[in-house]
Chain A
Amino acid sequence: AQKVTQAQTEISVVEKEDVTLDCVYETRDTTYYLFWYKQPPSGELVFLIRRNSFDEQNEISGRYSWNFQKSTSSFNFTITASQVVDSAVYFCALRIPSDNYGGSQGNLIFGKGTKLSVKP
């Protein structure tokens, strides 16, 4: 069975602090995709990044960076110099690819999310 665990329910930091959001996943498949989504108070889920299981290179995008380690089944997300606008709920998700276009095995399995509050 596939599962995503985000152990941190809530994190509170002061602006300009760095913060890391943890994500641990479980799957027996060798091919899979990992995602991070941001859900601001408005409610809409915003796509941040996708990573496939064969690409363990870390990625940096501005103040955001992602650390993918297959050895520990983790896909952690770090925000550097956090800002108030980063306040949101962040979800990690797993997808096992399907054999068909948009097949039933292609669904996203979400963690429970981590609520990040950045205070000025």
Chain B
Amino acid sequence: EAGVAQSPRYKIIEKRQSVAFWCNPISGHATLYWYQQILGQGPKLLIQFQNNGVVDDSQLPKDRFSAERLKGVDSTLKIQPAKLEDSAVYLCASSYPRKGGSYEQYFGPGTRLTVT
């Protein structure tokens, strides 16, 4: 079974530029998550989708970050314009929803963003 795919793996941009990340979840996983992991910290949830609907985006900086999952499969996360503090690894994860919290999230390899 193929895992969660992400691209690109690395990206370097200057501040105020725009950047987009792509994620393809495990086949059949209806729930998709984007996390931000700053160096030395644990991942922090940015947004959660259930199929193509947003379930939780309470920690997404909506003035500069946006995400979509148009057909309930692939997802893109965009930052526009980027700031220095956005330098981090952006992780995508997916899960097969079961009632309650017993499901595991499977993570992709992440995209390492450096903003200069």
Report A's interface with B, CB cutoff 8 A.
4, 31-33, 35, 37, 42-47, 50, 52, 91, 93, 95-98, 100-108, 110-113
Distance from B50 Cβ to chain A, minimum over Cβ atoms (Å)? 5
Chain B contacts for A103, CB-based, 8 A = 55
Q: Write out the residue numbers on chain B whose beta carbons fall within 8 Å of the beta carbon of A107.
A: 33, 45, 48, 56
Q: Is the CB of B101 within 8 A of A33?
A: yes
Q: Is the CB of B31 within 8 A of A102?
A: yes
In the complex, chain B residues 38-74 whose Cβ is within 8 Å of any chain A Cβ = 40-45, 48, 50, 55-56, 58
Least CB distance from A88 to B in Å reads: 13
Are B101 and A43 in contact, with the CB atoms below 8 A? no
Are B56 and A32 in touch, CB under 8 angstroms?
no
Q: Known: A44-B107, A102-B97, A103-B55. Is A108-B45 also a contact (CB below 8 A)?
A: yes
What is the distance, in angstroms, from B5's C-beta to the closest C-beta of chain A?
11
Count B-side interface residues using an 8 Å CB cutoff: 34
Is B22 part of the contact surface with A, judged by Cβ < 8 Å? no
B105 part of interface (Cβ distance < 8 Å): yes
Q: Tell whether, in the assembled complex, residue B45 and residue A101 are in contact, meaning their CB atoms are under 8 Å apart.
A: no
Residues of A within 8 Å of B99, CB to CB, are 100-101
A93 to B106, CA, bound (A): 14
Is the pair A50, B42 in contact by a Cβ cutoff of 8 Å?
no
**Complex: chain B residue closest to A93, CB-CB:** B42
Residue contact B89 to A98, C-beta cutoff 8 Å: no
Contacts of A50 in B (CB 8 A): 102, 104
Q: How far is the CB of A84 from chain B (nearest CB, A)?
A: 21
